[in-house]
C-alpha cells in the first residue's frame, strides 16, 4: 500500500513538472528539494489522508531527494561537515570532512551520476553533453560544481562539488599570533597582498579571513571567476565572470571585470585568483592608488609566485617592455603570503615575504612551517 501511494505521488509530481513555471528548480535561493517537499506533502495528504504529519514530512523529504535532489549524493551534501563531494564515475563517492578525504560508503551507478549532473547544472541553463563535456558553474548558495563527461573522463562522468564556508574563519585560526600580527599590520598599512599556495591550501579561506578584518564601511569590490567569497560589510560589491552561451554570446571575461572594478570607486579590490593576462590590469590598478588590495595565485614558493605574477602581467601588457612590467610588479605587490594544508587537514599561513620595490628581492618577515 505504501509503495502504491508513493508511486501515485511520483506520477502526479512528474506530470505537473512541465506545467509548473520552473520555480521549483530556479529563481530562488532555497534548494529545489526543500521547495519540492511542500508540494509532495500536499500530494501525499491527498493520496493518503490518514497519514500523520510527521510521516507525511518524512516521506515527502525522501521522495524529494529522489525526484529533484541528487539521490544518494544528497545526504552527503546535507552534512554540514562535508566541504567537497567527489564523484569519480560510477562507484564509491568520496567526501572531504574537516580537511581530509574519505570514502563515503555511498555507491552510485552511471544513471545516478547522469541524473545528478543534470539536476545540478540544468536549472542554471547549462548543458552537459558530448558537445559540452566540461561544465563549471556556481549554484545560488555559492556552491561550485564542475562536471566532466566522457570521452574526456575516460572511466565515466566526474563531478566535483565544493562548498565554501558562509562565515569567515577567524584570522587567528589561520595563523600563529606572530604571523597574524604581521598580516594585520599590512592590512592597516594598506599593503597589497598576494596569497599563494597549492590547490586546497586555504587561499580563498585566508582571503575571507583577511577581508573580515577590514572596516565595515570600506568599499571593497571583489572580482572572481566563480564567486566563492562571502563577505560582510556595507560596502561589499561582488562581480563574477560570465561564461556565456554555447556560442559565446553574453560572455563577460575575467579581465574585463577587473577593468570594470576600477570604475566602481573601490577602496580596495579583491581579485579571487590571478590566472592570466588580467594580472596586467590588476598590477596597473595596484600601482595607481588602489592600495590595500588582495589576490590569490597558485604557486609553490614566494619566488615562484612573484615570477608567475610577472609572467602573467607581461602576457597582458600589450607589448610593453618586460623590464617595465617587471618594475611595475615589484612596486605593486608589497607582500606575498604563503598557505599550506597541514597533515591533519587544516590550512594555515606558513610564510610572509615583503617585496623590495627597487629590485624585487624577497625579505622573509615571518615563517611558520606546516
Structural contact between residues 257 and 223, judged by C-beta atoms closer than 8 angstroms: yes
E strands, the chain, where? 82-88, 91-97, 100-108, 134-138, 144-148, 158-162, 193-197, 220-224, 236-240, 268-271, 294-298, 335-341, 347-355, 362-367
Average pLDDT, the chain: 83
**Percent over 70 (pLDDT), the chain:** 86
pLDDT tens digits, 38-86: 888 888 888 888 888 888 888 887 777 666 666 677 778 878 888 899 9
Closest to 174 measured CA to CA, from 215, 298, 182: 182
Q: Please tell me the least confidently modeled range out of 21-35, 199-213, 243-257.
A: 21-35
Q: Is the peptide bond before 151 cis (omega within 30 degrees of 0)?
A: yes
Q: Is the pLDDT of residue 28 over 60?
A: no
- pLDDT confidence tier of residue 246, bands split at 50, 70 and 90: low
Q: Is the pLDDT of residue 170 over 50?
A: yes
Looking at residue 139, its pLDDT comes to: 75
Q: Is the pLDDT of residue 316 over 50?
A: yes
Q: Is the pLDDT of residue 192 over 60?
A: yes
**Percent over 90 (pLDDT), the chain:** 35
Whole-model pTM?
Answer: 0.71
Closest to 332 measured CA to CA, from 281, 265, 266: 281
- Give the list of residues 6+ apart from residue 25 with CB closer than 8 angstroms, or none: 32, 68, 122, 123
pLDDT tens digits, 84-137: 999 999 999 999 987 788 999 889 889 888 888 887 777 677 778 888 899 887
Q: Is the pLDDT of residue 29 over 60?
A: no
The mean per-residue pLDDT over the stretch 140-150 comes to 84
Looking at residue 349, its pLDDT comes to: 96
pLDDT tens digits, 253-308: 777 888 888 889 889 989 888 888 888 877 877 776 678 999 999 999 999 999 99
Looking at residue 352, its pLDDT comes to: 97
Using CA atoms, how far apart are residues 109 and 179, in angstroms rounded to an integer? 47
The mean per-residue pLDDT over the stretch 218-222 comes to 90
The mean per-residue pLDDT over the stretch 6-14 comes to 82
Looking at residue 24, its pLDDT comes to: 38
Kindly list the strands in the beta sheet with 268-271, ordered across the sheet, starting from the edge strand earlier in the chain: 236-240, 220-224, 268-271, 294-298, 193-197, 335-341, 347-355, 362-367
Amino acid at each position: 500500500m505504501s509503495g502504491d501511494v508513493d508511486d501515485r505521488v511520483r506520477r502526479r509530481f512528474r506530470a505537473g513538472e512541465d506545467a509548473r513555471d520552473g520555480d521549483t528548480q530556479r529563481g530562488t535561493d532555497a534548494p529545489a528539494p526543500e521547495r519540492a517537499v511542500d508540494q509532495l506533502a500536499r500530494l501525499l495528504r491527498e493520496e493518503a489522508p490518514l497519514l500523520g504529519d510527521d510521516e507525511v514530512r518524512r516521506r515527502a523529504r525522501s521522495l524529494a531527494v529522489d525526484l529533484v535532489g541528487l539521490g544518494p549524493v544528497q545526504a552527503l551534501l546535507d552534512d554540514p561537515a562535508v566541504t567537497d563531494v567527489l564523484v569519480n564515475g560510477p562507484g564509491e563517492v568520496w567526501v572531504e570532512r574537516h580537511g581530509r578525504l574519505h570514502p563515503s560508503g555511498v555507491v552510485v551507478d552511471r544513471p545516478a551520476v547522469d541524473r545528478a549532473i543534470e539536476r545540478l547544472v540544468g536549472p542554471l541553463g547549462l548543458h552537459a553533453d558530448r558537445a559540452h563535456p566540461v561544465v563549471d558553474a556556481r549554484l545560488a548558495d555559492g556552491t561550485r560544481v564542475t562536471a566532466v563527461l566522457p570521452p574526456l573522463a575516460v572511466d565515466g562522468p566526474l563531478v566535483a562539488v565544493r562548498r565554501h564556508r558562509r562565515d569567515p574563519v577567524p584570522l587567528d585560526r589561520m595563523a600563529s599570533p606572530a604571523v597574524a600580527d604581521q598580516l594585520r599590520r599590512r592590512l592597516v598599512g594598506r599593503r597589497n597582498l598576494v596569497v599563494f599556495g597549492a590547490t586546497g591550501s586555504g587561499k580563498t579561506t585566508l582571503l575571507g579571513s583577511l577581508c573580515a578584518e577590514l572596516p565595515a564601511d570600506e568599499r571593497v569590490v571583489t572580482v572572481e571567476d566563480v564567486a566563492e567569497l562571502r563577505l560582510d560589510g556595507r560596502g561589499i560589491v561582488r562581480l563574477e565572470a560570465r561564461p556565456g552561451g554555447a556560442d559565446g554570446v553574453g560572455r563577460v571575461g575575467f579581465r574585463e571585470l577587473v577593468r570594470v572594478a576600477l570604475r566602481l570607486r573601490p577602496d580596495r579590490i579583491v581579485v579571487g585568483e590571478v590566472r592570466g593576462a588580467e594580472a596586467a590590469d590588476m598590477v596597473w590598478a595596484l600601482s595607481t592608488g588602489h592600495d590595500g588590495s588582495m589576490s590569490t595565485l597558485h604557486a609553490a614558493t614566494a619566488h615562484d609566485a612573484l615570477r608567475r605574477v610577472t609572467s602573467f602581467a607581461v602576457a597582458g601588457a600589450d607589448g610593453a617592455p618586460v623590464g617595465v612590467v617587471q618594475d611595475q610588479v615589484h612596486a605593486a605587490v608589497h607582500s606575498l603570503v604563503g598557505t599550506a594544508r597541514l597533515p591533519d587537514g587544516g590550512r594555515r599561513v606558513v610564510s610572509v615575504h615583503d617585496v623590495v620595490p627597487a629590485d624585487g628581492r624577497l625579505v622573509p618577515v615571518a615563517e611558520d612551517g606546516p
